Amino acid sequence: MDLDIEAIKHPAIYARVSSEEQVQGTSLDDQVDKCLKQAAVYGWIIPPERIYIDDGYSGASLERPALSRLREDVRSGKVDLVMVYKLDRLSRNIKDTVNLVLEEWSKEHRVVFRSVTEDFNTNSPLGTLIFSILASFAHFERDVIKERTSNGRKRRFSEGRRAVGRPPYGYDPGEVNGTMKVNEQEAKVVRRMFEMYLTGMGFMQIARILNDEGIRTKSGEAWSEKTVRDVIVNRVYLGEVKYSGQYGPGSHEPIIKPEVFDAAQEIRRSKNRVGGRASGSPFLLGGMIYCRNCGSMLHTQPETVSRRRHKDGSVYYTVNRAYYQCGGRVKKGNSFCRAGYIDQKWLDAVIVQRLKERFLPEIRGGRYLEELEEEASRYVQGIRTKIQAVAEEIETKRRAVDRWISAFENGQLSPEKFGNRISELEKTIDQLSAEKEMLEKHLEDAKMRKINVTWAKEVANIIERWDLIPFQYQKQIVRCLIDCVTVWKPSQGKGKHKSQPEVEIDIVWNRSQETLPIGDLPIN
């Protein structure tokens, strides 16, 4: 079947050029101009809003902004013909091309596809056959481009140039594509980072120092543990380049001497062998306590012992207390969060006291169980009241339906007005019925969660003997009774966290009444 020119009312143009093709001189203007000239021959007028252009996007994927808008306009009936300069402008993947043009556009929406240079359209069997053949060639060309790109990267690697991406911190792009030149200001920072690491500082400590001094990464962001580590392990600072997991000599000037780099890697490997921080440290709230200021999880610093010397040369030892510290401040420095350190023993003791205040009847004046019962009863009664109100509203709407039906039967309403009103009432009744069903489910859940007296007594029994319970069981119990803890303590500087009167603590209690590890407790 030939193309019915007069049947086309909403033609559109699609043009695309990738970044690589821009360098080679492929022009978007030429594509659009040739399509417009072809449209003029047929007498079609194509307004600017039906010209879809993807500038700098590869043909390997259909995920492109202009193409997405075109597909949406096809689905909504705003386009009945799509014209391109050449088939590979649409896609270089044969499966994507065939599915898009033959299935989505031609079959589902009766939209015609036309290529200007290949002189075919999908409105005829012959055009469809030609389209399939040309799509195969486009797919083949894409594979050729991939191979050509891979060969280009290999050639760059052999010449000591970077294959892809922008230069790392410490370097700027060179005059020749893929080469690098030293950025002296950043190079000083890189050398200093290695020096700090060799003196025993960790990645997080180095990041804090750089951030506090206002030094930022290449992208202008704060330093973190990961970005510092990426510098310390990067062999590009030895004057090497990387391609496909292999390193080779680069054409750029090194920033770090080999002996310095090797020493840093040995320190890193030794830390990994030791395992970093001591394991099994006694932190009751590890993994469930958060900074209220920035939302970060608090890190834990175990108790350590430091070896020191008096002025006369004699040795003495000091014990550094275990503490919690904001993870955001640890990773990104004081400029990110000013939360102070919190003594671990003090905070753990406060949480245990809060547990006792909540669960021990004698501390709650003997009314703990009664208060929980009353709280649960009020919650259940509140749900029942809402259910009753919704049920009454449903009944009111149903009576309204009956009145409208009577009025229609008596000839007081037109069919159109009657139909619209009944439709509105039925929709409202459906919504109210769904709300009532949801409330009834909540009511059943509330009845199930009503305080279990036996469970509460078991909790009180455990809390009462807290000091006799081994630490690993204490942690399990805390996690059964508490969802999380949020804290806030403004920074006071070093040595000022012996007492914590200014710490603000919020506990989110777990109301699910989980089974506690009572049977496993080695206590009588």
Catalytic residues: 18
What's the CA gap between 66 and 18, in Å, rounded?
13
Q: With residue 474 as reference, give the H or E element that holds it.
A: helix 471-481
Assess contact for 489 and 389: CB atoms under 8 A: no
Q: Would you list the DSSP string of 171-209? A: EEE-SSTT-EEE-HHHHHHHHHHHHHHHTT--HHHHHHH
For 249: left if phi > 0, alpha if psi spans -120 to 50, otherwise beta; the answer is beta
| Distance from chain centroid for Cα 222 | 18
Site of tokens 């590869």: 58
Q: CA quadruple 356, 358, 363, 367: dihedral positive or negative?
A: negative
Q: 241: which strand partners?
A: 248
Q: Would you list the DSSP string of 417-468? A: HHHHHHHHHHHHHHHHHHHHHHHHHHHHHHHHTS--HHHHHHHHHHHHTGGG
Question: What Å distances lie between residue 444 and 13, 181, 385, 391, 450, CA to CA?
Answer: 59, 70, 14, 17, 10
> What's the one-letter identity of residue 452?
N
> Residues in the chain, how many?
524
For 388, the token pair is: 């009753």
Q: CA quadruple 507, 509, 515, 518: dihedral positive or negative?
A: positive
Identify the three-state secondary structure at position 164.
coil
- For helices 225-232 and 203-212, the axis angle rounded to 10 degrees is 110
For 391, the token pair is: 């049920």
Q: How far apart are the first and last CA of the chain?
A: 91
H, E, C per residue of 57-113: CCCCCCCCHHHHHHHHHHHCCCCCEEEECCHHHCCCCHHHHHHHHHHHHHHHHCCEE
The DSSP 8-state label assigned to residue 167 in this structure reads -
Identify the three-state secondary structure at position 39.
helix
What's the CA gap between 387 and 432, in Å, rounded?
10
Q: 522: which strand partners?
A: none
The DSSP 8-state label assigned to residue 297 in this structure reads B
